[in-house]
Amino acid sequence: NAGVMQNPRHLVRRRGQEARLRCSPMKGHSHVYWYRQLPEEGLKFMVYLQKENIIDESGMPKERFSAEFPKEGPSILRIQQVVRGDSAAYFCASSPPFRGPYNEQFFGPGTRLTVL
């Protein structure tokens, strides 16, 4: 059973370009979470999605960032017009259908975004 897959593992963009990060959850998992880890910091929640629905986007910056989890295919985190401050590791996690607090989240290896 493959784990959470993220690609690319490393992404380099110049300021002003767009970054697209992909996440394929574990088989049978219908819940996806995105977290951002800035250098020397812990992980910060960004967004929680189910298939075709954004459930909680309270951690998403108001501008330039968007996320989706379509009916078919991976979840996408999209960053438009990237700036140097967007340089970070972006982690995706997945969990089975929500049943209260019992489900731990399974994390992917992350995408390390570098903005030049």
Partner 1 sequence: AQSVAQPEDQVNVAEGNPLTVKCTYSVSGNPYLFWYVQYPNRGLQFLLKYITGDNLVKGSYGFEAEFNKSQTSFHLKKPSALVSDSALYFCAVRLLSGNTGKLIFGQGTTLQVKP
The residues binding partner 1 (CB under 8 A) are: 4, 6, 31, 33, 35, 41-45, 48, 55-56, 59, 91, 93, 95, 98, 100-110, 112
- Specify the residue for token string 């401050």: 85
Residue among 17 and 105 whose Cβ is closer to partner 1: 105
Distances (CA, A) of 83 to 11, 40, 45, 55, 73: 13, 19, 20, 27, 27
Nearer to partner 1 among residue 42 and residue 85 (C-beta): 42
Give me the least distance between CB of 109 and partner 1, in Å please: 4
Single-letter residue type at 27: K
**Complex with partner 1: residue 17 or 103, whichever CB lies closer:** 103
Contact 44, 33 (CB under 8 A): no
